[in-house]
A and B are shown apart, each in its own frame.
Chain A
Amino acid sequence: MLGRLAWRNLGRNRRRTGLTAAAGAFAALLMMLALALARGSHEYWIDQSVRLYPGHVRLALAGYEEHGTLEYGMRLSPALRSALDALPGSVGWAPRLETWGLAVQDADGSLGRGAWIVGVDPERERELTRLFDGLGSAELPEPGAPGAVLGADLARALGVRTGESILLLTGDYYGSQAAERFRVTGTLSVGDPRFDERAVLTHVGDMQAFLDAGRTVSHVVLFAPTGERADDLARELSASLPGGYEILTWPELVPDLLQMLLLDDAGNWLSLSILVVVVGFGLLNTVLMSVLERRREFGTLRALGMRPRAVFGLVLIESLLLTSAGIAAGLAIAVPLLLVLERNPIPLTGEQLAAAVETYHLDPVLVFDLSAAQLLGTSAVLLVVALMAALPPALRAARGQPREAMREPT
């Protein structure tokens, strides 16, 4: 009975009801879009950063993170290989053998630059990371004929071109000097100075021979289907291996990315909270106005025997109905819109904005990701706000004395 009464009451001032519902719909839509954008871009940022090089999970010997030297390298035994292959939560893994050294131009040998020399498995990197994405037609280092892909800026600084050769000088696995001539098979530019200005990427097999390192690698990176599944993968990995290893996940490997995400989250929460408060006051205003207008009416209802609790309930139900209508309209727009946006990320135009995003080595696009939890959460938050906004007017309506209320002019 109260529900029908509330529905009819809303119908009595259609323009006001429509406007308020529209405001609710707009708020719902905005919140859903903002949350989907945050979720989508975070997933995308994690994916892009992790797939540049670090991986979702990194496996190394205990102490590697602290020391990072060849001494803490681990032996990639056949048993370890098959343990890595057997992980159900992993989409793939790639070995790396890293060290620091000097890259010297071969022609006259006078020009040397500090280099980050990394042995990789090019086929696995191609499949799992975007390290070699910008390489174009250049060939990847093949095992057996020492070849190297140089960061584009490093190659420029050394004055070497594809097809020419460089000398790499560093310490080998035993701390003795290692020197080898490598043919430059290509240059790469990924937008990260760590790679563009310093990296020398070579085949892990050549690197092991160069460093006299046997089957030793620095670490192995593993990839999960999504960033959220990294912890599960780390747990799986830890359970399948004996002790003595160090297993880190991307938030530890790329701490500045995590900080950026947290900062972004904080900003989103702040602006969404402001939006919710504004919507709440708007609703409060509408409901309060409608209650004040109907003092006489509520007095009559009370005089006819309606209990204060029922009057209170009536006002609450009106507010909830109004907001629900808004949320329904919001959902009706948001869901199809997000389904479209999910498939078609919005490219960022505007040079400054694009440049700002590129400092994080990301493509300048806005990515959306729809999640049922977020849609439900937004709806629930708005309904709670509707209830809270209706509380003061409802109390007021329920408290009014019939005699005084009916004496008021309509």
Chain B
Amino acid sequence: MRPTAGSAYRLGVLRWLLIGVLVWPAAGRAQSFDPAELIERVERSLRGDTVRMRAEMRITTPRWTRVVEFSSWDDRAGDRSFIRILSPRKDRGTGFLRVQGTFWTWLPRVERTLRIPPSMMLQSWMGSDFTNDDLARESSLSEDYSARSLGGREREGTRAWGVELTPHADAPVVWARVEAWIEPETLAPLSLLYYDEPDPGRFELLRELRFSDVRPVQGRAFPHTWLMLPRDKPGHSTEMHIVSSVFDEPFDEALFTQEHLRRATGVR
């Protein structure tokens, strides 16, 4: 049955009404945030000035699953970080130290420190779908990108604010674009979408980081599960569970030294 002119008109009106109902509140909210400030606030709530964490990382591939446990110290203010692997046994004691742009790893099996060149910062960390850069936190969403609002939108049943992040020319990142989606009430991040630009103007989603399990920690809405889904590797994923986190405590200077890196007993 072909729609008559009358029914088509009614449908058109209905559609506009529906869109109006859906867009109205989101549009009202969308104007109420400054994208750069929002990203700065999100980063602050995720990383604080400093954050000490203990985490379990479950790596899943089509052929195997394994869990890596580690402790990390992220000194965002001092632009440095430290990670010590706690398990599995074979990797226990392995350490990672970043001081500004320089990144080292300590291999206790052969008692050697290796410098990881900048070209390897985007390679897999410990076989996971996270990169060295993700863990060592060399790049920063608020400092290395410029932000543009994407407005408010309905995403997977939740209302979210979107921010499009474009890297500065000199930023140590490879992503052509990052899209951040944030929960407007609590300012907890929902997801980060990382894009490549294979041809000018055409963006391709490479990986997606989904945050969930949001619980309050020291006055912030902190997601305790971080799920990384690489789009080019079906069946692969890495889920990081933050077991404990302490924000904004002052770190001992000795933490970020080669001596501490080499101290295999320094497992805390």
The interface of chain A, by Cβ under 8 A from chain B, is: 71, 104, 109, 167, 169, 171-177, 179-181, 212
Contacts and interface: CB of A to CB of B under 8 A. Distances in A.
A109 B90 contact: no
A174 B66 contact: yes
Contacts of A71: 61, 63
Interface of B: 59, 61, 63-64, 66, 68, 90-91, 94, 105, 107, 109-110, 112, 114, 124, 126-128
Contact of B68 (A173, A176, A180): A176
| 4 shortest interchain CB distances as A-B pairs | A175-B127, A179-B107, A176-B127, A174-B127
Given A169-B114, A212-B90, A175 B126 contact: yes
B59 A174 contact: yes
Contacts of A167: 110, 112
Contacts of A109: 112
A245 to B, nearest CB: 15
A177 B105 contact: yes
Given A174-B66, A176-B127, A177-B105, 10 more contacts: A71-B61, A169-B107, A172-B127, A174-B59, A176-B68, A179-B109, A180-B109, A181-B109, A181-B110, A212-B90
Given A71-B61, A109-B112, A167-B112, A177 B107 contact: yes
B230 to A, nearest CB: 12
B116 to A, nearest CB: 10
Nearest to A109: B112
A200 to B, nearest CB: 15
Given A71-B61, A71-B63, A212-B90, A179 B127 contact: no
A167 B59 CA distance: 27
A351 B170 CA distance: 57
A27 B151 CA distance: 89
Contacts of A104: 112
B110 A174 contact: no
Contacts of B66: 174
Contacts of B94: 177
A408 to B, nearest CB: 88
A172 B68 CA distance: 14
18 contacts: A71-B63, A169-B107, A169-B114, A174-B66, A175-B59, A175-B124, A175-B127, A175-B128, A176-B90, A176-B91, A176-B126, A177-B105, A177-B126, A179-B109, A179-B110, A180-B110, A181-B109, A212-B90
- Tell me which of A173, A177, A180 has the highest count of chain B C-beta atoms within 10 A of its own C-beta: A177
A173 B65 CA distance: 12
A106 to B, nearest CB: 8
Nearest to A61: B63
Given A169-B107, A171-B127, A172-B127, A179 B112 contact: yes
A176 B107 CA distance: 12
B128 to A, nearest CB: 8
A117 B110 CA distance: 17
Nearest to A104: B112
A174 B61 CA distance: 9
Contacts of A173: 64
Contacts of B90: 172, 176, 212
A172 B88 CA distance: 13
Contacts of A212: 90
A396 B63 CA distance: 80
B107 A174 contact: no
Contacts of A179: 107, 109-110, 112
